[in-house]
Structure 1
Amino acid sequence: MAVLDFTGKHIAITFPDLDEALSQANDIETAIRRADEVLKLTIESRIEDEEEIPEPTPLDKIALHDGQRTIVAKCVIKEKIKYDKKTLTLPHDLNLAAEAAGLNFSQVLQKALREELAER
């Protein structure tokens, strides 16, 4: 939940559960868009820094003052996949055949590992 505060010159945007998530706008449409943007950036930053992402405070538990209202801010997070580099050894003839076929070794290994894990 984001809180929009209409009491100043601009619409202030805050999040009760994310102190560092702040923004402002001149109109409601921009405020809604910026609330979504700042929420996404804040959550991505917390994921990258391995910080806690709190559950949102329920709407009926947010104390509002005159000139404030809540909105539901939303975003889609596509967490970055971390990769590990591995060194492996292949029979020479298998390596030559795979290279001649233009196979992507990383993709083939990932597929084989997923299939092997699915069978367990």
Structure 2
Amino acid sequence: MTDAVVGGAEGSVEHAVIARYRMPGDGFGEPGDRAVVRAAQKLLAQVIERAGVGEFDGNEFGGGEVVLFAYGPDADALFAVMEPILCDLPFRPANVVLRYGSASDPATAERLVEL
């Protein structure tokens, strides 16, 4: 894995972990691929809730990719519980953005992690 910091100062607003995966095909992936993502989502929701680090907020399929969203007060803590499940998903290329504050604040820092 590689990572890089993009952006400015850390904010105290809700943080985010946004994982993006390339799916087979041009649209929504194959039915079996979507089932793999749904199973991972259930696991993500469970581990996030169990650890008390935030909430899993869902996904967006389309354009040959899927994006998974989770939010909480600490992006690093959130990613720490999510990372093993995110790394197990077979779809590549893939990356994760850890956002340390509000999406609307141009000074919000982000870290990009390649899976």
TM-score w.r.t. the length of structure 1 is 0.29
Higher Cα Rg: structure 1 or 2?
1
1 or 2 for the larger relative contact order (CA 8 Å, sep ≥6)? 2
Question: Which has a greater percent of helix?
Answer: 1
